């Protein structure tokens, strides 16, 4: 199946990043969110990212304008009917995602593939909300999307091989490296990454070292490009907490219990970069892309 028009639900840091990569790869994109303010923030982050690529001579101004012209927007999901595939990138909340999948199922042609960028939630359960479970799949991009090479392509129990092959080919057309992963809480990436971040939060909570020192240990000791607490701030502490809860509930294993400090940060509204404060403070907000590219990140190559 040839996929030409890509719908994206959610214009936050991931949805905007996916929109940019899809448009840079020549696809038509329809980007939607709950309201115009969220769409404007998404478009502004795409604009800033493209400007930096032009400054680095990775893109001409004309190419950047073409990329922007391939992205159309709308509030609500009523414009998703025209898309060959819709990638859901809304907040990491199962009830929200189930409602979106039910609406997309009603709105879209029976042929449309419905993908989710969820970090951890069961793709099998989201597929079961639709009348086309064989056409539902996980497409888990990494943050920041224009920089990171990996896409976990997650088969729900119901996903057909044809849909899996189409989505794998789409990830490759986006210049990414797809990895075939079976549906389970947290998949592979976050099954490994989030317990490490959660353990770093425990180290902070127990007073073993400061946030800066914990991040320094992992950067200088393990050659991680970012410390785990700075990475948690980049991901969003609300998203980190949701993923830990999915692991905890999914495996019923106390080793996945979220640290109380992570819960308290979220309760206080300290969500990381997106709120200006998490484990670190961000008085002068810098876009996540510039942070990683400015630090010689191993995946800083851009394929466009
Ligand atoms: P975000 O908070 O930056 O953006 C979420 C967006 O979804 C917001 O703009 C919100 O208004 C919108 N939204 C919420 N409900 C909606 C609805 N019903 N319809 C349309 N839009 C809606 O979050 P994010 O970091 O972009 O994460 C989005 C998804 O991607 C989550 O499932 C998350 O787990 C996943 N993800 C995040 C990361 C990361 O590092 N942050 C990495 C990989 C995957």
Nearest to 143 by CA among 96, 104, 101, 92: 92
Task: Confirm whether 302 is domain-assigned.
Answer: no
Instruction: Say if CB 299 and CB 148 are below 8 A apart.
Output: yes
Catalytic annotation present for 103: no
Is 44 in the same domain as 91? yes
Is 33 in the same domain as 159? yes
Helix, strand, or coil (residue 22)? helix
Last residue of some domain: 150, 182, 214?
182
Pairing of strands 150-155, 136-141: antiparallel
Please list, in sequence order, all residues whose beta carbon lies within 8 angstroms of the beta carbon of residue 44, skipping any fewer than 6 positions away: none
* CA distances, 166 to each of 67, 138, 233 (Å): 23, 12, 33
Is 143 in the same domain as 278? no
Catalytic annotation present for 190: yes
Domain CATH number, residue 216? 1.10.1040.10
Task: Confirm whether 304 is domain-assigned.
Answer: no
Take residue 300 and report the two structure tokens written for it.
Answer: 């800083």
Phi, psi of 17 (to 5 degrees): -65, -40
Ligand 1, residues 7, 9, 12: which to mutate, most atoms within 8 A of Cβ? Answer: 12
Is 172 in the same domain as 44? yes
Is 165 in the same domain as 247? no
Is 45 in the same domain as 136? yes
Is 81 in the same domain as 216? no
Last residue of some domain: 182, 198, 220?
182
Nearest to 303 by CA among 128, 82, 151: 151
Is 39 in the same domain as 176? yes
Nearest to 119 by CA among 207, 18, 235: 235
Please list, in sequence order, all residues whose beta carbon lies within 8 angstroms of the beta carbon of residue 202, skipping any fewer than 6 positions away: 259, 261
- Give 51-70 pLDDT, tens digit per residue: 999 999 999 999 999 999 99
Which residue in the list 49, 88, 140, 198 is annotated as catalytic?
140
Helix, strand, or coil (residue 142)? coil
Burial environment of residue 274 by CB neighbours within 10 A (0 to 12, 13 to 18, 19 or more)? buried
Q: Which residues line ligand 1 (CB under 6 A)?
A: 9-15, 33-34, 38, 89-92, 96, 100, 117-119, 140-141, 143, 235-236, 239, 274
Ligand 1, residues 89, 95, 99: which to mutate, most atoms within 8 A of Cβ? Answer: 89
Residue bearing the CA closest to ligand 1, atom 9: 12
Is 114 in the same domain as 259? no
Domain coverage including residue 222:
190-294
- Give 5-24 pLDDT, tens digit per residue: 999 999 999 999 999 999 99
Task: Quote the mean pLDDT of the chain.
Answer: 93
> pTM value?
0.91
Catalytic annotation present for 140: yes
Ligand 1 mean position, distance from CA 209 (Å): 31
Task: Confirm whether 49 is domain-assigned.
Answer: yes
Last residue of some domain: 121, 152, 182?
182
Task: Please identify which residue in the block is written with the tokens 């920041």.
Answer: 144
Task: Confirm whether 143 is domain-assigned.
Answer: yes
Task: Confirm whether 254 is domain-assigned.
Answer: yes
Task: Confirm whether 300 is domain-assigned.
Answer: no
Looking at the DSSP assignment, which residues form a beta bridge with residue 154?
138, 181
Is 167 in the same domain as 262? no
Ligand 1, residues 13, 14, 139, 238: which to mutate, most atoms within 8 A of Cβ? Answer: 14
Enter the DSSP assignment of 280.
S
Task: Confirm whether 299 is domain-assigned.
Answer: no
Per-residue DSSP letters for 233-263? HHH-HHHHHHHHHHHHHHHT-GGGPPPHHHH
Is 101 in the same domain as 177? yes
Domain CATH number, residue 151? 3.40.50.720
Helix, strand, or coil (residue 169)? helix
- Split into its structural domains, the chain has a count of 2
Task: Confirm whether 212 is domain-assigned.
Answer: yes
Which residue in the list 152, 166, 198, 242 is annotated as catalytic?
152
Taking only the tens of pLDDT, the chain with its 304 residues reads: 789 999 999 999 999 999 999 999 999 999 999 999 999 999 999 999 999 999 999 999 999 999 999 999 999 898 899 999 999 999 999 999 999 999 999 999 999 999 999 999 999 999 999 999 999 999 999 999 999 999 999 999 999 999 999 999 999 999 999 999 999 999 999 999 999 999 999 999 999 999 999 999 999 999 999 999 999 999 999 999 999 999 999 999 999 999 999 999 999 999 999 999 999 999 865 444 333 333 333 333 222 2
Which residue in the list 117, 190, 198, 242 is annotated as catalytic?
190
Beta strands across the sheet bearing 136-141: 71-75, 28-33, 5-9, 85-88, 113-116, 136-141, 150-155, 177-182
Helix, strand, or coil (residue 292)? helix
Is 56 in the same domain as 76? yes
Ligand 1 mean position, distance from CA 236 (Å): 10
């Amino acid at each position: 199946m040839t996929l030409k028009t890509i719908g994206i639900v959610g214009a936050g840091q991931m949805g905007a990043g996916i929109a940019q990569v899809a448009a840079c790869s020549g696809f038509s994109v329809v980007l939607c969110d709950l309201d115009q303010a969220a769409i404007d923030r998404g478009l502004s982050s795409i604009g800033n990212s493209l400007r930096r690529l032009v400054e680095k001579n990775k893109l001409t101004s004309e190419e950047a304008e073409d990329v922007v012209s391939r992205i159309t927007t709308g509030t609500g999901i009523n414009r998703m009917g025209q898309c060959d595939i819709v990638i859901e990138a809304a907040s990491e909340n199962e009830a929200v995602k189930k409602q979106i999948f039910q609406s997309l199922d009603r709105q879209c042609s029976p042929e449309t593939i419905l993908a989710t960028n969820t970090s951890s939630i069961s793709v099998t359960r989201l597929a079961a909300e639709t009348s086309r479970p064989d056409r539902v799949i996980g497409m888990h991009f990494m943050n920041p999307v224009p920089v990171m090479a990996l896409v976990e392509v997650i088969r729900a129990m119901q996903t057909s091989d044809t849909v899996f092959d189409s989505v794998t080919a789409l990830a490759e057309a986006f210049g990414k490296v797809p990895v075939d992963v079976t549906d389970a809480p947290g998949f592979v990436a976050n099954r490994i990454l989030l317990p490490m971040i959660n353990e770093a939060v425990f180290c902070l909570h127990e007073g073993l070292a400061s946030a800066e020192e914990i991040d320094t240990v992992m950067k200088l000791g393990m050659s991680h490009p970012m410390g785990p607490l700075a990475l948690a701030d980049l991901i969003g502490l609300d998203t980190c907490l949701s993923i830990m809860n999915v692991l905890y509930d999914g495996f019923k294993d106390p080793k996945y219990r979220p640290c109380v400090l992570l819960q308290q940060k979220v309760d206080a509204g300290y969500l990381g970069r997106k709120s200006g404060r998490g484990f670190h403070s961000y008085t002068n907000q810098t876009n996540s892309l510039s942070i990683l590219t400015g630090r010689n990140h191993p995946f800083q190559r851009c394929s466009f």
